[in-house]
Amino acid sequence: MTGPKGVTGALAGVRGLLLDLDGVLLLAGRPIPGAADAIRALDARRVPYRIVTNTSVWSRPTLSRYSESLGLSIPPSRILSALSVSAAYTREHFDGRPIYVLATDDARIEFDGQRLLSHENAAAPGARAAAGVIGDAPDEANYANLNVAFRLIRGGAQLIGMHRNRWWITPEGPTLDSGAFVAGLEFASGAKAVVLGKPSIAFFAQAARELAAEVAASGGGRSRKRDFAMVGDDLWTDVLAAQRAGLRGVFVLSGKHGREELAKAAAQRRGGGRPDVVAGSLAELVAELD
Ligand SMILES: [Mg+2]
């Protein structure tokens, strides 16, 4: 593990962690070695943490059950997902107004109580919506539904991307993510998407607020964003973005990006940079926390 000020210096005073899911705890549907023990160690030491994930295909309760089946004990309240922040956003901005959500049935649970259009109603001639929300929906993201979203956006619906991820790793290998559909709808409609998951600054800020509240509730007083570190396997979306949001950034090599990305990012003048810490895995990082 490396860091410009040494690992201990780079992590000194860290009071809570944001953990990415894919590439930090799981990879291709299997737990990453040592991840379950690392979570248990954080629980035992009462280090507050949140799982911050751009996963939008499953609701938080389902994600929690799925993690449990892989030996990871993560209650829904510890999860902040691109899906859950998108549902919170539409609840705040479009309450009571029709919205079109391209997502799985399970993901739609997060929008409970909101006015969601069915695919049929959204496709009806003259249909209008306040927002078109795009998430991972392997079966629903077909031409017909994307065209429905396109028409609603042309008609004035706000285009919302739960995230803009390009790809991820599944048991079948590198897999197209829904960022391509968000980018495609932007391209076709001319609208600019509001993107709510990582790397949005607002997403990290919300997660840091939750950690700060937990620290304060346990008598730890006030904390700053620098007191928290984001641990991720995507150098740009997780690590450098969290650093831009004011948190510390830890890059782990257990996921989809490797050391070549570090050199690429360090050489990049815009949008580049270096993580505060590079670790082999979450297990290695937690072992170094003081
Ligand atoms: Mg990841």
Is the domain of 187 the same as that of 97?
yes
Strand partners, 5: none
Is the domain of 116 the same as that of 35?
no
Is the domain of 110 the same as that of 182?
yes
Distance 12 CA to ligand 1 centre (A): 24
Instruction: Name the residue range of residue 122's domain.
Output: 88-195
Give one DSSP letter per residue of the chain, joined into a string: -B-TTHHHHHHTT--EEEE-SBTTTEETTEEPTTHHHHHHHHHHTT--EEEEE---SS-HHHHHHHHHHTT----GGGEEEHHHHHHHHHHHHSTTS-EEEES-HHHHGGGTTS-BPPHHHHHSTT---SEEEE---TTT-SHHHHHHHHHHHHTTPEEEES----EEEETTEEEE-THHHHHHHHHHH-PPPEE-STT-HHHHHHHHHHHHHHHHHTT-----GGGEEEEES-IIIIIIHHHHTTSEEEEETTSS--HHHHHHHHH-SSS----SEEES-HHHHHHH--
Distance 123 CA to ligand 1 centre (A): 34
Kindly state whether residue 63 falls inside one of the protein's structural domains.
Answer: no
Distance 196 CA to ligand 1 centre (A): 16
Is the domain of 208 the same as that of 282?
yes
Distance 82 CA to ligand 1 centre (A): 13
> Which pLDDT belongs to residue 1?
53
Is the domain of 99 the same as that of 189?
yes
> Which pLDDT belongs to residue 270?
86
Kindly state whether residue 68 falls inside one of the protein's structural domains.
Answer: no
Distance 255 CA to ligand 1 centre (A): 7
Is the domain of 94 the same as that of 190?
yes
- Looking at this protein, which amino acid is placed at residue 208? A
CATH code, domain with 25? 3.40.50.1000
> Which pLDDT belongs to residue 267?
92
Kindly state whether residue 39 falls inside one of the protein's structural domains.
Answer: yes
Number of domains in the chain: 2
User: CA 290, CA 286: separation in Å to the nearest integer?
Assistant: 9
Distance 168 CA to ligand 1 centre (A): 8
> Which pLDDT belongs to residue 6?
67
Distance 247 CA to ligand 1 centre (A): 17
Distance 186 CA to ligand 1 centre (A): 24
Domain endpoint, select from 141, 161, 195: 195
Kindly state whether residue 100 falls inside one of the protein's structural domains.
Answer: yes
Q: What stretches in the chain show pLDDT beneath 70?
A: 1-6, 290
Is the domain of 93 the same as that of 45?
no
Distance 21 CA to ligand 1 centre (A): 6
Distance 264 CA to ligand 1 centre (A): 18
User: CA 209, CA 206: separation in Å to the nearest integer?
Assistant: 5
Is the domain of 125 the same as that of 92?
yes
Distance 127 CA to ligand 1 centre (A): 37
Distance 173 CA to ligand 1 centre (A): 14
Give the pairing of strands 49-53 and 16-19.
Answer: parallel
> Which pLDDT belongs to residue 2?
54
Per-residue pLDDT tens digits for 130-182: 999 999 998 999 999 999 999 999 999 999 999 998 888 888 989 999 999 99
Is the domain of 148 the same as that of 123?
yes
Domain endpoint, select from 177, 195, 213: 195
Per-residue pLDDT tens digits for 267-279: 988 888 999 999 9
Is the domain of 132 the same as that of 165?
yes
Kindly state whether residue 158 falls inside one of the protein's structural domains.
Answer: yes
Kindly state whether residue 70 falls inside one of the protein's structural domains.
Answer: no
Is the domain of 174 the same as that of 95?
yes
Kindly state whether residue 281 falls inside one of the protein's structural domains.
Answer: yes
Kindly state whether residue 225 falls inside one of the protein's structural domains.
Answer: yes
Distance 60 CA to ligand 1 centre (A): 17
Distance 276 CA to ligand 1 centre (A): 17
Domain endpoint, select from 147, 170, 195: 195
Distance 22 CA to ligand 1 centre (A): 4
- Looking at this protein, which amino acid is placed at residue 15? R
> Which pLDDT belongs to residue 9?
81
Is the domain of 92 the same as that of 187?
yes
Distance 24 CA to ligand 1 centre (A): 7
